[in-house]
Amino acid sequence: MSVVDLDGRSLSLEAIEAIAVGGAHVRVTPQAQARVAQARAFVDERFASGEAIYGVTTGFGRLANVPVAAADAGLLQLNLVRSHAAGTGAPLGEELVRAAGVLRASSLAAGHSGIKPETLALLVELLNRGVTPVVPCQGSVGASGDLAPLAHMTLVLIGEGEAFFRGERMPGAQALRLAGLVPIELGAKEGLALVNGTEVMAGIAALSVLRAQRLADAADVIGAMSLEAFLGTDRVFDRRINALRPHAGQAYVADRLRELLADSQIMQSHRECGRVQDPYSFRCIPVVHGAVRDALAYARTTIQIEAISVTDNPLVFPEDGVFLSGGNFHGEPVALACDFMKIAASELASISERRLYLLLNAEDRGLPLFLTGRSGLQSGLMIVQYTSAALVNDNKGLAWPSSVDSIATSAGQEDHVSMGMTSANNLVRLLDNVEGALACELLGALVATDLRRPLRSGRGTGAAHACGRERIAPWTQDRVPAPDIEAARALIASGALVRAAASTGTANEEWNEE
């Protein structure tokens, strides 16, 4: 996608990624521009009438009943943005902030927030010209949306705060100037419209669910490689078995592993070995990986709905002549989806570490201890498994569902909060760990497969092994494994490993269960 049209009604997760990661340009449709202009005219009309409107002629939160003079409307919005920019911690990655910006622009383009058309235009141009606000990762409780993170984003629109531009961190005003942009002056309701919403946690979730699904794809390929090298049985992938527990994910994974292992001489070599069953981390790959996929499908559906939602407050309905206050800004749907993704994805790492452990301790399957022929003098991949175990341990804390906690804020006005931003932040870290654990298993699978030569691997597993060996040299003697782990990470993150396996005709349809 080189250009993505925002109409405020439809926005795919892939389009968000195309803009946030791929640099596709954003264009607001004429219909959306007309709705934004209509809503703004309604706000101006009602503001001029002197009517008491939350956040327009009143204070915010617990101060909702405190009137504010019409002459101070602009200052009220400016004070809101400045006072709410109370974030702390390391800056969010630029791609995550850009994803939030896409969602914010899409929500505003729906025409129910009452901002000026030029405000939306500037937000879009930040995306198109590569001006990315510096947004601290901590400070949101996910109640009235992501108040602090969105306030930091909004600071750049008014020529304050900080931004990344062309690889440098600088004052927001300087970034705007270098990009040929001019800051806006906030009008009635605009500050509230810009800081109210779930877009930061939802932006992180949007990119994360796509990443998690790709990690699930990689886990299938790597799991198949490990099972093959372990001399495990593929009978557990039989359609008849998996049809009796008809979860969609389980059936998909079983089909996929059968195809990855098709025509494998390694698998054929031990058909009559007499072993009946393998450990669960091999035998239950369809069940575990499949359950992860089903969980990710639920999360994807939730985040897709969030991507086309309006989470501002109050909402403007010019066609009905009303402002309506509600709770669309509460982050519970996103928080629960992020927590579910954390729990599910952590299982990919957990079962992966067990498979690696078994590969390194498979003398009964004809593999040398730690996959080295000179045990004692050499340690082989012993410590690679330690690394995987450490990542899995870290995930146990990160996977704890943040949404089960709530700490009242705003003098009790916001008495139940989602903590969705904490869930989203931990999800990013957890997926990094999953990628690392899968990379460690991939190293083990490559070395163990080398030890099975000259027997040929399956169509898909063989192509994946060849792809791995193009980037990672065979393990003939002890060396520093850290660069190999990073190279394996790159194969997983780039999708090269999965594409190689798919190039042989194995199942490669995108999994989203929509």
What is the predicted pLDDT for the residue at 507?
46
Determine the Cα–Cα distance for residues 153 and 476; give it in Å rounded to an integer.
Answer: 51
Single-letter amino acid code for the residue at 291: A
pTM of the model: 0.95
Question: Does one domain contain both 332 and 438?
Answer: yes
Question: Does one domain contain both 209 and 192?
Answer: no
Helix (H) or strand (E) holding 132: strand 132-133
What is the predicted pLDDT for the residue at 454?
97
512 in any annotated domain: no
Domain boundary among 197, 222, 243: 197
510 in any annotated domain: no
CATH of the domain at 494: 1.20.200.10
How many domains, the chain? 2
CATH of the domain at 12: 1.10.275.10
Question: Does one domain contain both 491 and 400?
Answer: yes
List the pLDDT tens digit at each of the 514 positions of the chain.
699 999 999 999 999 999 999 999 999 999 999 999 999 999 998 888 877 777 777 777 666 677 778 788 889 899 999 999 999 999 999 999 999 999 999 999 999 999 999 999 999 999 999 999 999 999 999 988 899 999 999 999 999 999 999 999 999 999 999 999 999 999 989 999 999 999 999 999 999 999 999 999 999 999 999 999 999 999 999 999 999 999 999 999 999 999 999 999 999 999 888 787 999 999 999 999 999 999 999 999 999 999 999 999 899 999 999 989 899 999 999 999 999 999 999 999 999 999 999 999 999 999 999 999 888 899 999 999 999 999 999 999 999 999 999 999 888 888 899 999 999 999 999 999 999 999 999 999 999 999 999 999 999 999 999 999 999 999 999 999 999 999 999 999 999 999 999 987 644 445 454 4
Determine the Cα–Cα distance for residues 211 and 204; give it in Å rounded to an integer.
Answer: 11
What is the predicted pLDDT for the residue at 506?
47
What is the predicted pLDDT for the residue at 65?
75
What is the predicted pLDDT for the residue at 1?
67
CB 206 within 8 A of CB 512: no
159 in any annotated domain: yes
Distances, alpha carbon 259 to alpha carbons 118, 232, 233, in Å: 53, 15, 14
Residue 353 CA neighbour count, 13 Å, CB half: 22
Question: Does one domain contain both 237 and 350?
Answer: yes
Of 48, 7, 40, the closest CA to residue 26 belongs to 7
Question: Does one domain contain both 182 and 211?
Answer: no
Single-letter amino acid code for the residue at 247: H
- Which pair of structure tokens corresponds to residue 345? 């994805």
| Residue ranges making up the domain that contains 299 | 205-502
Active-site residue, from 54, 280, 357, 386: 54
Domain boundary among 172, 197, 222: 197
Question: Does one domain contain both 163 and 294?
Answer: no
Distances, alpha carbon 299 to alpha carbons 167, 256, 342, 421, in Å: 33, 22, 10, 15
Q: Determine whether 357 is an active site residue.
A: no
Question: Does one domain contain both 302 and 235?
Answer: yes
335 in any annotated domain: yes
511 in any annotated domain: no
Question: Does one domain contain both 235 and 324?
Answer: yes
CA 187 centroid distance within chain:
34
Question: Does one domain contain both 436 and 489?
Answer: yes
Domain boundary among 149, 180, 197: 197
What is the predicted pLDDT for the residue at 511?
45
Dihedral over alpha carbons 355, 357, 358, 364 (to 10 degrees): 160
514 in any annotated domain: no
What is the predicted pLDDT for the residue at 275?
82
Of 164, 66, 150, the closest CA to residue 108 belongs to 150
220 in any annotated domain: yes
Question: Does one domain contain both 190 and 251?
Answer: no
Question: Does one domain contain both 193 and 209?
Answer: no
Question: Does one domain contain both 177 and 311?
Answer: no
